[in-house]
Every structure is written in C-alpha cells, then in structure tokens.
Chains A and B, each alone.
Chain A
Amino acid sequence: GAGVSQSPSNKVTEKGKDVELRCDPISGHTALYWYRQSLGQGLEFLIYFQGNSAPDKSGLPSDRFSAERTGGSVSTLTIQRTQQEDSAVYLCASSLGWANEKLFFGSGTQLSVL
C-alpha cells in the first residue's frame, strides 16, 4: 500500500475485555515495529519483527500483551484482559529492513479502556 495502515483508528473497550489491533505495513518492508504513546510521554518500544520472527519481546509491558506477524506482512497486537493503564495510542511502523533505519509510522490506534 501507499503507507502503513492501522485499524481500528479508535477503540473503546471495557476493562477486562480483549482487544486486537492490526497493522498493515508498506509492501516490501520486512521490519515491523510496535510502539505505545501515552499522553505526554515518548514512544515506548513494544516489539519488533523481522519477517515473521520477533527477536525481542522484552518491551511488552506484561504477559497480557502478545503480537504476531504472518506472511511477513500484517501484524496483530493483542491485549488480553485490558486495564485502564493500557489506554494509549498504539503506533505501528515499518522499514525496509532492520538495518534500514527510517521508520514509516501508521496513524495509530487510540485505545480507551473504560
């Protein structure tokens, strides 16, 4: 596609529910990143994929968070049993490869946990 696409753009959920956030990277980009942006905070690294593999999952805040990537393309970030502190903007970015540093960001998913 023309850019990194994320869906939904907004998600309101009740505490305790599971949510799935989707990222469709730029075609041909092998590296994919998830970041979380809380109000007034920087971009917190969550996880990185090179192809379908996630070399480092240590950025995930808790075991309620998981992510997968299939076919070297679309990625899904899943948050189980959501908590209010999970409320944030979840940004996805892609790059040509891990050695190609320029990240192209999606517009993000604004998650609100009530």
Chain B
Amino acid sequence: GENVEQHPSTLSVQEGDSAVIKCTYSDSASNYFPWYKQELGKRPQLIIDIRSNVGEKKDQRIAVTLNKTAKHFSLHITETQPEDSAVYFCAARGGGAGSYQLTFGKGTKLSVIP
C-alpha cells in the first residue's frame, strides 16, 4: 500500500518568514495530493490540493509543488502569520481502480513566533 513520509515533525519560524513542509510517497500511481490544516482542538480542513498532471499550484500565501519523478511534494507558506500556527498533514491517494483511500503523513506542527 501507499506510504507517506512527512518532514519535519515540528517547525518554528518567525512571523513573516517562509515555511516549507515536505512529503514523499511510495506509490507511483498516486494521483491526488491534498494538504490539511488542523488547528488546536479543531477538525482537519483542506487548504490546498494538487493533482498529478500539475506541477505547482498557488492560492494566495500558500503553494504546493509536485515532483512525480522523485515522488515528493511540498507545501510552501510565505509571509507566515501567527494564525498559520497549526498541524499540517499531507496525504496521497492511490491511482488504482477504485482507489479511494487517502494515506496521511504524520503531520508537521508549525509554530509561527510573533
């Protein structure tokens, strides 16, 4: 099955700096890669996603890049703000027939220091 590795497990940045979280996946047939943000005590929420036919996607201060050859994808947050502090999870969905399962990484706890 799919295996998703996520690094780093914790990340502290100064407000205004950029943050980068990286994930690798094992199944070369995986075709969908979302990122979820979970604030303390709250439910995970989708913040951005990318499909395997796209190399990069941006949404305001966040962007995701995908390298299919290397089987890794990254989340980039620019101009970080205190409200960006949360746990971020990457995930991958296999490309096989009937694939439905999202396999999540173990999460990155991002702390933005004012």
Interface residues of A (CB under 8 A from B): 4, 31, 33, 35, 40-45, 48, 50, 55-56, 59, 91, 98, 101-103, 105-108
Chain B residues near A106 (CB-CB < 8 A): 43
Interface residues of B (CB under 8 A from A): 4, 6, 32, 34, 36, 42-46, 49, 89, 91, 93, 98, 100-107
Please report whether the interface of chain B is mostly helix, strand, loop or mixed according to DSSP: strand
Q: Flag if A107 contacts B43 (CB, 8 Å).
A: yes
Shortest B28–chain A CB gap in Å is 18
Q: Flag if A91 contacts B49 (CB, 8 Å).
A: no
A55 to B97, CA, bound (A): 12
Indicate which residue in A43, A55, A101 contacts B89 across the interface (CB closer than 8 Å).
A43
Given known contacts A4-B43, A91-B43, what 16 new A-B pairs fall within 8 Å (CB)? A40-B106, A42-B6, A42-B104, A43-B102, A45-B104, A48-B100, A56-B100, A101-B34, A102-B46, A102-B49, A103-B34, A103-B36, A103-B46, A105-B36, A105-B44, A106-B43
